[in-house]
Amino acid sequence: MLFRSIAGELPSIPDDLSIPQFILDSQHELRPDRPHGLPWLVADKSGKTLGLDEIQRRTNALAVRLRDGFGIRHNDPVVFFSSNHIDYPICMWAVHRLLGIVTPCNPSLTVPELVQVLKLAKPKLIVSHVDCLAVAVNAAEKFGIGADRIIVLQNQDESPSTQSAFGDSKTVEHLIQEGSKSTDLIHGRRFNSGEAKTQVAFYSSSSGTTGPPKMVKISHYAFIADIILTAALNKVGRKELSPRYVPGDRCLGVLPFYHIYGLVLILHFNFFAAISVVVVSKFNFADMLHSIDRYKINSLMVVPPQVVLLSKEPIVKNYDLSHIRTVLCSAAPLAGELYDQLIKLVPQATISQAYGSTEATGVVSMTQANEKHGRQCGIMAPGIQGRVVRSDGTLAGYDEEGELHIKTPASAMGYLDNEAATKETFLDDSWMRTGDLVKIDRNDEIVVLDRVKVRGFQVAPAELEGCILDHPLVADVGVVGVPDSFSGEVPLAFVTLTPEGHKLPLSDLKGSLHKHVAENKAPFKHLRYIEVIDSIPKTPSGKLLRRDLREKGRSLVARETKL
């Protein structure tokens, strides 16, 4: 059977606007009025604010300098290698004003990992935070980009340095000040009807639904569509129907902007909903609590590890959380026990969960607007259809397990330079495979049964498997995710050994493998568990039987937890 959204009619979605034109320059039937004087952005520690006029000025000035000083033009990719920053959206919108392509990536990437991103995206420019500038410069040199093609975001909560450059790299602030002297106005041309569906706005990193990491091509139209669908699902601007997201609220921007969750929901959705975003550059739990108290945060958008801290850390009682009206937890399902603890912590708040992916440009489903406590991943947003496909290819009904396929106006365009993966995920009839094992219950809510996520970040098993196979003592490997109370899931590697590997003490072998992965992969990809087995289960055709490994892994972890 096919499942259709029960959330109402599909709202109108403009197909002739760029993202900054939609967010900064236009109106929409669902968009509420912004209270007078309400800032769009607030720097967490310094309290510096940016309103629409200043955002427009800074965006235009930077666009002028990116055009004139760096030659950024239509379809030129720009890599963003930065933690959260009050000027992060300014930089994005400046690139989009020129119809360039923003490529946000995790600032914890190692030099080899960043080089991999650069080879795939082929950027003309890199925007790097000063704290990770050394990695950016090193990776850029290996790729063949000079340091003069890197621009630097200084620490947002400090006064901008009078220094205009770091070595050969100019600062964003310096470029904005230079561009402000120009009288040019760059709004970007209005697209022809339908053109926003074909103009790429983002290359966003994803592990994909299968295989190694990929770059997802997201159009301006798909990005705008997901904002509108999320607003419609939450009945934004209609407080009598939904108390969640109210004009004038304050949301804590603590999740990373390079992740699709932060990019769509924390930044652009909040701007659309007339909500201020308090930008936290780096996550620290005590600082997060202080910011919630200081700014009287109404809206928290978090991931399960942060809910663990909120529920268990004793320092929480030292802070006032009474003004929190709504909590959204997404990126991985929230355990029932944690949900109950969260209700006790903020009994006045609505608590919702959501399901989505980079390939779907963010939100697919969310707790219904009139439901105070949503324990599943909610109903599909307006305009989205779903089907649950069994392993034999037949369609499942209510409460039956299978892989979720969706059809959404916010579907991405495919994967960059990867036709095979695009065909595997983005099907000919506009359906998209998610790779996630789910069921849909009789409340039309999506229940996610299986997903490899570490603190909200997708980890591609194939990527880790390739890294581990590079170890000289490993003959074969299979990586799966196993439950973890803090991270949601963590990677477990089943390995078979070479004859030389069998000669090494098990503790030394595991230590060597942990070190090998740690030296080559970002921290969120590091292995938690390693299990040596005789053979990796596979089909006759050689396909790895992950479900068998996953069940075995969960049993091992459950037994170890009991011990």
Where helices occur in 186-251 by DSSP H, the ranges are: 220-233
Strongest mean pLDDT among 396-400, 540-544, 553-557: 396-400
Q: What is the pLDDT of residue 484?
A: 77
Confidence of residue 549 (pLDDT cuts 50, 70, 90): confident
Strand order of the β-sheet with 41-43 is 49-50, 41-43, 276-279, 250-253, 299-302, 326-329, 350-357, 362-366, 379-380
Q: Is there a contact between 26 and 14 (Cβ–Cβ < 8 Å)?
A: yes
Cα distance between residue 23 and residue 80, in whole Å: 20
Q: In which band, very low, low, confident or very high, does the pLDDT at 544 lie, cut at 50, 70 and 90?
A: low
Whether the Cβ atoms of residue 186 and residue 63 lie closer than 8 Å to each other: yes
Q: Which of 289, 292, 245 is nearest to 269 (CA)?
A: 245
* Residue 389, token pair as written in the block: 């496909």
What does the pLDDT look like over 497-535, one tens digit per residue?
Answer: 989 999 999 999 999 999 999 998 888 888 889 999 998
> Exposure string (b/e) for 347-386, b if CB count within 10 Å is 16 or more?
eebbbbbbbbbbbbbbbbbbbbbebbebbbbbbbbbbbeb
Residue 458, classified by CB atoms within 10 Å of its CB into exposed (0-12), middle (13-18) or buried (19+), is: buried
Stretch 403-414: mean pLDDT, rounded? Answer: 96
Q: Which residues contact 499 (CB under 8 A, 6 or more apart)?
A: none
- Burial class of 420 by CB neighbour count within 10 A (0 to 12, 13 to 18, 19+): exposed
User: Measured between alpha carbons, how far is 439 from 448 in angstroms, rounded to an integer?
Assistant: 7
Q: What is the CA radius of gyration of the chain?
A: 23
Distance between CA 280 and CA 304 in Å, rounded? 18
**pLDDT confidence of 163, banded at 50, 70, 90?**
low
Whether the model pTM is above 0.85: no
Bridge-based pairing state of the strands 77-81 and 125-129: parallel
Report, as an integer, the average pLDDT of 44-64: 97
Residue 97 and residue 18: Cα distance in Å, rounded? 8
- E strand or H helix that includes residue 491: strand 488-497
DSSP letters, 66-110, are: HHHHH---TT-EEEEE----TTHHHHHHHHHHTT-EEEEE-TT--
Joined together, the tokens standing for residue 118 give: 């650069």
Please state, rounded to an integer, the average pLDDT across all residues of the chain. Answer: 90
Q: Of 118-132, 227-241, 544-558, which range is least confident?
A: 544-558
pLDDT higher than 50, residue 541? no
- Asked if pLDDT for residue 145 goes beyond 60, the answer is yes
User: What pLDDT band is residue 562 in, cutting at 50, 70 and 90?
Assistant: low
Give the other-Cβ count within 10 Å of 236's Cβ: 26
First to last CA, the chain: 44
